[in-house]
Amino acid sequence: MNKHLFIYDLKQNRLLFAIILAVLIMYSSIITNMFDPAGNEDLIALATMKMSPELMRAFGFEIAADCSLTSFLSSYLYGMLMLIFPLLYANITANRLMAQHVDKGNMAFLLATPLSRTTIATTQAIFLLAGTWLLLCICCAFSMILCHSLFPGLLDTTNYIHLNVGLAALMTLLSGIGFLASACCNETKYSLGFGMGLPLLFYVFKMAADASGTTALKYMSVFSLFENTALANGEGEIWKIVLMFGSGLLLYMAGIVLFCKRDLSL
Amino acid sequence: MIKIQSLQKDYGNGKGVFDLSLHIPEGEVFGFLGPNGAGKTTTIRMLLGFIAPDAGQCHVNGLPSFAQRAKIMSDLGYVPAEINFFDGMNGMDFLKFMGKLRQMHDTSRRDELIRYLDIDTSVRISRMSKGMKQKIALVAAFMHRPRILVLDEPTSGLDPLMQHRFNEMIVQERERGTTVFMSSHSFEEVERTCSRIGIIRQGHLVAVENIGALHKSKQRRYTLTLAHAETADKLLERCPCKLVARNGNMLTVSVNAEDINGFIKALGRFELTDICSETISLEELFMQYYK
């Protein structure tokens, strides 16, 4: 891990981080404000007018009228928005941290310093993981404070934190895919193609699986390991979270090892 | 200092580097010549451990290139053939960044080079011309006083004045005992600074020679414009030279190094309106050397 490279990463990626964070905070505020402790019949009626039941399920908008605030957020926020926007941040950044330097050629200058490739790749991996987790932490903390001020005592803090830990595990896995692709590709089009394309394909499978109820599709998507509804009800399975964290970290390590071994035509 | 043994990298279609062996002792300034696509950059990439050879090995400073590349870099300066800097920086930011990554504390050489090459380091990298980028890259390669310099076409994009200053820099480094490995596609660029030259062609090292020997075998070529076109045949007869091309009253002739004096004396009897010397391409130089 190299401090100076980390600081450069920070300067280069802070704008994207700020934009994604702002979008997530805006959506969190809007959606939290939509919750009605007396019952969400109006909201469901309104949503059903606009969307078919399949579409509602595809976007993860599945709630009972008398659901808890935690379930409400897990469905309306963690069914799509909190999946897609952190994914965008993590995997665009992943591409910029490795593949873009190789594609543009400025990686040659990094390699011409006494920094080992392991140090370079590890620094970028730590930056990516730390940034992604920080994004989720800020969003989680913001939501908790907002819920506390709007609906004191209604949020089940323990389950809500479990939900967010599950999300962090999922994002570790997804950003791991992005990092591995970025470490292995010479061109950003391939790095983004695999690193962003594969997670998005998984997301499409998840949407299709949710909308149609097809189990085969469900097993083809890593998103199925993140059970937002179950986690919000305190029924999440710990092995799924461990699996996501574990395989995510393995992907990061694979990225570092392959980057050290491969040819870099710079 | 630099030891290359039976190095091989095959990219297919005859591209790559094949069975290349080369030994460069400490303190030598070595010119690595070859046309575009001959394998110069591929050799340099293997030398720096950016890519692994298919066969053979290379050592820099006694260390194997691919396995010990980070260690090698602490005493090496490198100018890549294609220069791309980091986004969002100006020239000085970049040099400071590189200095920090190298844990370089003494910035005196850096500042001296900036003045010497007359660089405005406050210009943003995205607004820099090719020549400016080249100069910044030179500073980045020289600023930590490395004992080995690997320069891939270091003078491309530099104007004649800066090319001259660059040559002075190499002479300085030579006096300091630095080992320099410099690639180029033209003989003229390296003949003033290098003591030995290797010529690479389609991946094969075809000649390694002292600069003196190459210089001797090098033919001089001149284009003469005659005042009277009809004197051309007589000129070719009387002057020790060979006709290369003829276009009306313009003759292009080649002259061997030892015939220069006789050629000039004989030329005095003819009325010329112009004379200019032509540069010889690397391919021709190579052909001449093996004649």
Residue pLDDT, tens place only, A174-231: 999 999 999 999 999 999 999 999 999 999 999 999 888 888 888 899 999 999 989 9
- Chain A residue numbers with beta carbons less than 8 Å from the beta carbon of B74 are 114
Interface test with A, best of B101, B125, B149 (most A CBs within 10 A): B101
Q: What is the percentage of chain A residues whose pLDDT exceeds 90?
A: 82
Chain B: give the shortest CA distance to residue A94, in Å.
16
Nearest-angstrom CA–CA distance, A143 and A136 = 11
Classify domain B2-216 at the CATH topology level.
Rossmann fold (3.40.50)
Go through A222-256 and write b for each residue having 16 or more CB atoms within 10 A of its CB, e for each that does not: bbbbbbbbbbbbeebeeebbeebbebbeebbbebb
Between A208 and B278, residue with greater pLDDT: A208
- Chain B residue numbers with beta carbons less than 8 Å from the beta carbon of A11 are 88
Contact B70 A115 (CB under 8 A): yes
Instruction: Over range B15-20, report the average pLDDT.
Output: 94
Looking at the predicted structure, is the pLDDT value of residue B291 above 60? no
Q: Is B69 on the interface with A (CB under 8 A)?
A: yes
Instruction: Over range A18-28, report the average pLDDT.
Output: 97
Looking at the predicted structure, is the pLDDT value of residue B152 above 90? yes
- Whether residue B203 contacts residue B39, with contact meaning beta carbons closer than 8 Å, is answered with yes
Q: How far is CA A25 from CA A20, A22, A29, A76, in A?
A: 9, 5, 6, 14
Backbone angles phi and psi of B210, in degrees to 5: -70, 150
Instruction: Over range B72-79, report the average pLDDT.
Output: 96
Nearest-angstrom CA–CA distance, A184 and A192 = 11
Chain B: give the shortest CA distance to residue A4, in Å.
7
Nearest-angstrom CA–CA distance, A72 and A229 = 9
pLDDT of residue B290: 60
Contact B50 A11 (CB under 8 A): no
Nearest-angstrom CA–CA distance, A134 and A144 = 15
Between B282 and A64, residue with greater pLDDT: A64
Q: Between residues 90 and 149 of chain B, which touch chain A (CB distance below 8 Å)?
A: 97-98, 100-103, 140-141
pLDDT of residue B283: 65
Domain B218-289 of CATH type 3.40.367.20 = no
- Whether residue B7 contacts residue B58, with contact meaning beta carbons closer than 8 Å, is answered with yes
Please enumerate in sequence order all residues whose Cβ is within 8 A of that of B34, keeping only pairs 6 or more positions apart, or say none: B40, B183, B185, B199, B200, B201, B282
Looking at the predicted structure, is the pLDDT value of residue A53 above 90? no
Contact A109 B45 (CB under 8 A): no
Please enumerate in sequence order all residues whose Cβ is within 8 A of that of B207, keeping only pairs 6 or more positions apart, or say none: B197, B198, B199, B286, B289, B290
Looking at the predicted structure, is the pLDDT value of residue A259 above 60? yes
Instruction: Over range B95-117, report the average pLDDT.
Output: 95
The per-residue pLDDT for range A85-95, each reduced to its tens digit, is 999 999 999 99
Q: Which amino acid is at A47?
A: A
- Chain A residue numbers with beta carbons less than 8 Å from the beta carbon of B97 are 4, 8
- Predicted ipTM of the assembly: 0.89
Chain A: give the shortest CA distance to residue B242, in Å.
44
pLDDT of residue A185: 95
Q: Which amino acid is at B83?
A: I
Sorted by where each begins, the domain ranges of chain B are 2-216, 218-289
Contact B101 A265 (CB under 8 A): no
Looking at the predicted structure, is the pLDDT value of residue B282 above 70? no
Contact B71 A8 (CB under 8 A): no
Backbone angles phi and psi of A50, in degrees to 5: -90, -30
Instruction: Over range A104-129, report the average pLDDT.
Output: 96
Instruction: Over range A45-68, report the average pLDDT.
Output: 81
**Would you state the structure tokens that stand for residue B192, as one six-digit string?**
């003033």
pLDDT bracket for residue A37 (50, 70, 90): confident
Mean per-residue pLDDT over chain B, rounded = 90
- Minimum mean pLDDT range among A90-94, A137-141, A218-222, B172-176: A218-222
Chain B: give the shortest CA distance to residue A262, in Å.
7
Q: Is B187 on the interface with A (CB under 8 A)?
A: no
Instruction: Over range A97-101, report the average pLDDT.
Output: 96
The per-residue pLDDT for range B225-277, each reduced to its tens digit, is 988 888 888 888 888 888 888 888 888 998 888 888 888 888 888 888 999 88
* Residue B219: DSSP 8-state: P
A112 closest CB neighbour out of B52, B73, B84: B73
The per-residue pLDDT for range B110-133, each reduced to its tens digit, is 999 999 999 999 999 888 999 999
**Would you state the structure tokens that stand for residue B64, as one six-digit string?**
């194997």
Nearest-angstrom CA–CA distance, A177 and B248 = 69
Interface test with B, best of A106, A107, A120, A188 (most B CBs within 10 A): A106
Looking at the predicted structure, is the pLDDT value of residue B175 above 60? yes
Interface test with A, best of B86, B144, B153 (most A CBs within 10 A): B86
pLDDT of residue B288: 67
The per-residue pLDDT for range B207-224, each reduced to its tens digit, is 888 887 777 777 788 998
Instruction: Over range A50-72, report the average pLDDT.
Output: 83
Mean per-residue pLDDT over chain A, rounded = 93
Sheet (strand B29-33) strand order: B76-79, B148-152, B179-184, B29-33, B196-201, B204-210
B84 closest CB neighbour out of A12, A106, A112: A106
Contact B70 A4 (CB under 8 A): no
Nearest-angstrom CA–CA distance, A76 and A56 = 10
pLDDT bracket for residue A21 (50, 70, 90): very high
- Chain B residue numbers with beta carbons less than 8 Å from the beta carbon of A111 are 48, 50, 69, 73
pLDDT bracket for residue B108 (50, 70, 90): very high
Selection from A102, A257, A111 nearest residue A191 by Cα: A102
Between B132 and B188, residue with greater pLDDT: B132
Place of tokens 């190499």: B170
pLDDT of residue B229: 82
Q: How far is CA B146 from CA A170, B26, B44, in A?
A: 46, 13, 17
- Whether residue B137 contacts residue B83, with contact meaning beta carbons closer than 8 Å, is answered with yes
Q: Between residues 17 and 46 of chain B, which touch chain A (CB distance below 8 Å)?
A: 45
Contact B86 A116 (CB under 8 A): no
Q: Which one of A61-70, A239-248, B81-90 scores highest in mean pLDDT? A: A239-248
- Whether residue B226 contacts residue B271, with contact meaning beta carbons closer than 8 Å, is answered with yes
Nearest-angstrom CA–CA distance, B211 and B103 = 37
Nearest-angstrom CA–CA distance, B246 and B253 = 9
